[in-house]
């Protein structure tokens, strides 16, 4: 989420991790490998997965080893889709038709072939360039029945910029999204794009009520004042002095009244529970935010909670933990990103629960 200007890390200048050669991808038989349903989840906007592998992988690997998630949802992968210049792209595969892209792909796949990630399978949904993109990393013993890359559940179709991965498990769906930033103006790629996105998310949620939903990712919105460190600062924020004509569109992207109200509507009409706020009722200035501003400049110490796990009401009683793994204004636990990982833990479903009786 880009809310300030900061120096761009040079992707070619960092040390490459010393990792083993990639293993050949296992031919996973879904019917034989599955051992129940996932119950431990992690979401993280990596702000360039490649840079995190190059610069922060040992620390992030330690977190993954410790928490041992069944599913890892990644946003802002920022790796280009396969396909040569001018040719149709394959958003489900990493680009490897040039020397530099082959090297970058190899770096990523080496990392994802080494412990603990060798026990997982990864799906990609990528943009044409190093922008946006999502990944879903799932333990091989918890493989989904189906994977879609769009909100319409159309086979092989990917959302623009690779913003969606939808996994169908036996008793629930998991939706990993990287919501588009609202921007600052009434322009094609700002307010209208975000309004359309929110409308489609609401439609998806309402049409998916036949099975419980876990919706996670960088949702690019702070629902309530408690979800930002400095509400007055964010409410009054402007870009170059511009004031939108609609008062509800004023303020920091992600904290405008319009976005917050639309998000509230999605939660209410979709019967979704904000898992973190369900467990943490009070404002936590140290560990209660998932995005932090640049430690240098006017955004120093300014933080927002824009990364979420929301779950259907049917799953509410199974929420046992939902935590932010970053803290403080020095970005401890952010692993090089401007977002920290967020985790969710559910208790195991009772064999005869209504959730398990929901039909496909």
Is it true that the peptide bond before 320 is cis, omega within 30 degrees of 0? no
Alpha carbons 174 and 123: distance in angstroms, whole number: 13
**How far, CA to CA in Å, does 78 sit from each of 91, 127, 303, 346?**
12, 8, 23, 30
- 266: Cα within 13 Å, side-chain hemisphere: 25
Alpha carbons 106 and 299: distance in angstroms, whole number: 36
**How far, CA to CA in Å, does 88 sit from each of 58, 81, 82, 85, 104?**
36, 10, 9, 8, 20
Q: Which of 91, 108, 102 is nearest to 164 (CA)?
A: 91
Report the catalytic residues: 178, 218
Q: Do 165 and 134 contact (CB within 8 A), yes or no?
A: yes
Alpha carbons 332 and 218: distance in angstroms, whole number: 19
- Helix or strand or coil: residue 62? helix
């Amino acid at each position: 989420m880009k809310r300030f200007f900061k120096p761009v890390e040079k992707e070619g200048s960092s040390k490459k991790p010393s990792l083993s050669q990639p293993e050949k991808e296992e031919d996973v038989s879904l019917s034989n490998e599955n051992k129940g349903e996932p119950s431990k989840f992690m979401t993280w906007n990596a702000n360039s997965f490649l840079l995190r592998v190059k610069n922060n992988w040992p620390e992030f690997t330690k977190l993954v080893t410790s928490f041992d998630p069944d599913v890892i949802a990644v946003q802002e992968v920022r790796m280009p889709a396969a396909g040569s210049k001018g040719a149709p792209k394959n958003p489900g595969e990493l680009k490897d038709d040039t020397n530099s892209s082959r090297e970058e792909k190899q770096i990523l796949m080496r990392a994802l072939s080494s412990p603990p990630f060798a026990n997982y399978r990864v799906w990609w949904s990528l943009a044409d360039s190093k922008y946006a993109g999502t990944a879903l990393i799932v333990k091989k013993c918890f493989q989904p029945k189906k994977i879609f890359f769009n909100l319409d559940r159309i086979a092989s179709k990917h959302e623009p910029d690779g913003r969606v991965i939808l996994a169908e498990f036996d008793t629930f769906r998991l939706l990993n999204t990287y919501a588009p930033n609202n921007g600052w103006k009434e322009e094609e790629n700002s307010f209208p794009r975000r309004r359309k996105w929110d409308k489609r998310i609401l439609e998806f949620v309402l049409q998916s009520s036949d099975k419980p939903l876990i919706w996670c990712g960088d949702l690019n919105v702070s629902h309530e004042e408690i979800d930002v460190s400095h509400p007055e600062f964010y409410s009054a924020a402007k870009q170059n002095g511009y004031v939108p004509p609609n008062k509800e569109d004023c303020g920091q992207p992600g904290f405008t009244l319009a976005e917050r109200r639309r998000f509230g509507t999605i939660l209410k009409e979709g019967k979704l529970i904000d898992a973190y706020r369900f467990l943490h009722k009070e404002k936590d200035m140290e560990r209660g935010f998932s995005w932090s501003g640049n430690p240098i400049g006017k955004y120093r110490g300014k933080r927002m909670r824009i990364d979420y796990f929301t779950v259907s009401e049917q799953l509410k009683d199974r929420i046992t933990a939902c935590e932010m793994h970053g803290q403080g204004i020095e970005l401890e636990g952010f692993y090089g990103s401007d977002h920290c990982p967020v985790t969710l833990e559910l208790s195991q479903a009772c064999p005869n629960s209504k959730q398990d009786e929901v039909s496909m």
